[in-house]
Amino acid sequence: MNRDDKVAVIEELTSRLANAKFAVVSDYRGLTVPVISQLRRELKQSNAEIRVAKNTLLRLAIKGTPFEPMDQFLVGTTAVTFADGDPVAPAKVLVDFIKTNPKLEIKTAVLDGKLLTADDLKALSALPGKDELRAQLLAVMLAVPTSFVRVLSAVPQKALYALQAIKDQKGQGDN
């Protein structure tokens, strides 16, 4: 790789890191190309991307970014997963992928400038995703007005039941 190619890779990594909110550093040693391609497809569905990069180029790209704390973990074969949006979805994909492919080893993750361990990443993957949280919030928001309408309709309904009981009682008294 010549100098121009290295500069281009550093610029691409820097621009990718500028948009990312979440990054995971992993060791991919022992994984085949088809397996990594499968992981790429799964991550793409959760709006994330995995890149294999040389450690020296990655070190230059993370300088001055919130991802600088992961510098100490850039040893050996390194793959970096970037996510722009919801960090839970890519974390779930990685944790599920490791269950079937234990050769992928999570070294660290960085979320909003904070370093996370592999155990932290597993805990993050256990959280509900953004879409699930929105659905739960919507269910709560719909439950309040629905309950309110039921309470309001119960008052005239009970009055109607009382009037019907009085009518039935007077109807029995006439016999």
Per the DSSP assignment, residues forming a β-bridge with 51 are 80
Q: Clarify whether residues 102 and 150 are in a common domain.
A: no
pTM of the entire structure?
A: 0.70
Q: Clarify whether residues 103 and 146 are in a common domain.
A: no
Residue 3: phi and psi, rounded to 5, are -60, -40
Q: Clarify whether residues 84 and 148 are in a common domain.
A: no
Q: Clarify whether residues 119 and 135 are in a common domain.
A: no
Q: Clarify whether residues 110 and 149 are in a common domain.
A: no
- Tokens at 115, concatenated: 């370093």
Closest by CA to 84, choosing from 22, 35, 26, is 22
Average pLDDT of span 5-11: 86
Place of tokens 């820097």: 14
Contact 59, 71 (CB under 8 A): yes
More confident: 173 or 147: 147
| pLDDT tens digits for range 15-39 | 888 888 889 999 988 888 999 999 9
More confident: 146 or 50: 50
Q: Domain range for residue 90? A: 3-127
| pLDDT tens digits for range 116-128 | 888 888 887 777 7
Tell me, what DSSP letter sits at residue 108? E
Residue 42: which CATH number?
A: 3.30.70.1730
Place of tokens 């060791």: 27
The pLDDT assigned to 175 comes to 56
